[in-house]
Amino acid sequence: NGESLLLAETTSCKILRLRLGVENGSRPGPAEVLVELPGFPDNIKMNPKGEYWVGLHAKREKFLKWLLSLNWVGNTIVNLPFNAVKLTQVIARMKAVGLAAKLDGDGNIIHVLEDKSGKLKFISEVAEKDGNL
């Protein structure tokens, strides 16, 4: 509706809402957590009903959530002598699942789709048209 902007904060598995302040001419407010997701969000797409589909690149594991909460871990990864992103992608392929979450306009999770078969992996975005994904 043009009143706010949704942002995917991938490493924390959250969707943030930034109110733009256009309704009363004020300045944008601070970003607020709209929802915490069961995986790492990528793109956000709105369907014709005003609901949102979020592609989830990978499932969030409890150990990984804890590990990423430690500031020194991020600093260490940046300074590794090899490409840590490629390493995590190789590890993730071993047990990757396809994930997508559907949110209502208030950020409540309405539905989570998960492909445990491994046929769909690393979902970047989900688009809905005429009830089909």
Q: Which residues of the chain have pLDDT under 50?
A: none
Say what the pLDDT of residue 104 is: 96
Q: Does residue 73 form part of some domain?
A: yes
The helix (run of H) or strand (run of E) holding residue 50 is: none
Residue 89 domain-assigned?
yes
Cα→Cα distances 66→15, 62, 69, 71, 80, Å: 18, 6, 5, 11, 20
What pLDDT, on the 0 to 100 scale, is given for residue 116? Answer: 82
**pLDDT at residue number 78:** 65
**Predicted local distance difference test score (pLDDT) of residue 7:** 94
Q: Note down the domain range covering 86.
A: 4-115
For residue range 78-104, what is the model confidence (pLDDT) as tens digits? Answer: 677 666 566 666 655 656 778 999 999
Asked if residue 125 belongs to a domain, the reply is: no
Total structural domains in the chain? 1
Q: Kindly state whether residue 126 falls inside one of the protein's structural domains.
A: no
Residue of 51, 46, 16, 18 lying closest to 34 (CA atoms): 16
